[in-house]
Amino acid sequence: MKPIQDHLAKGLNILFVGFNPSIRSSETGHHFANPNNRFWSILHESGLTPKKLQPEEDSDLLKLGYGLTNIVARPTKEAAEITREEYQEGRIELLKKIEKYQPKVVCFVGKGVYQQYSKKQKLSWGKQEHSVSKAVEYVAPSSSGLVRMKKADIVEIYKGIHTCL
């Protein structure tokens, strides 16, 4: 399985950070490509995109001022397969990307992603009071179909990103 390409540019409005690519994303070369993943519909329903994009359109997010990356590049079937060492290396790489590209907001797609990045265990949804980087750090629920939250509740949390821009 091979990693997928980041979509990064200087001065992004939002950089979305996932755990790592799924097997389906590795096969297709596109972010959030698993049909059970709700990322693209959540972005649209929260007003962050003008239409529901397809995974093949992931690079189009750059036109909207949004980027995509993961804390760990190695594709896996589930996040539980990621090692501590991979998280530590990924954390360092992510900090470098944030420093280099200077997004206004870094949106972590899942509490666990932010916990690995920040080393904080207690945190709430939304804008974080104390950022690790110079960017605004925002924690949103994972868009995985395995998440038990109602989609409408997840969309409401993503809507909060608008207040950070």
CATH code assigned at 22: 3.40.470.10
pLDDT given for residue 111 in this prediction: 96
For residue 5, being part of any structural domain is answered with no
* Spans of the chain below 50 pLDDT: none
Provide the number of structural domains found in the chain: 1
| Residue 121 Cα distances to 65, 113, 114, 124, angstroms | 30, 11, 9, 10
For residue 63, being part of any structural domain is answered with yes
Q: Which domain holds residue 89?
A: 14-164
pLDDT in tens, 34-53: 999 999 999 999 999 999 99
For residue 42, being part of any structural domain is answered with yes
Q: Which residues, 6+ apart, have CB-to-CB distance to 16 below 8 Å?
A: 61, 66, 67, 68, 69, 107, 109
The reported pTM is 0.97
d(CA 42, CA 57): 15
For residue 9, being part of any structural domain is answered with no
Which residue blocks in the chain are alpha helix, DSSP H? Answer: 23-28, 39-45, 84-101, 111-118, 151-159
For residue 6, being part of any structural domain is answered with no
| Residue 146 Cα distances to 4, 58, 98, 133, angstroms | 22, 22, 28, 29
d(CA 102, CA 116): 20
The residues annotated with a catalytic role in the active site are: 20, 31
For residue 3, being part of any structural domain is answered with no
pLDDT given for residue 62 in this prediction: 98
pLDDT given for residue 79 in this prediction: 87
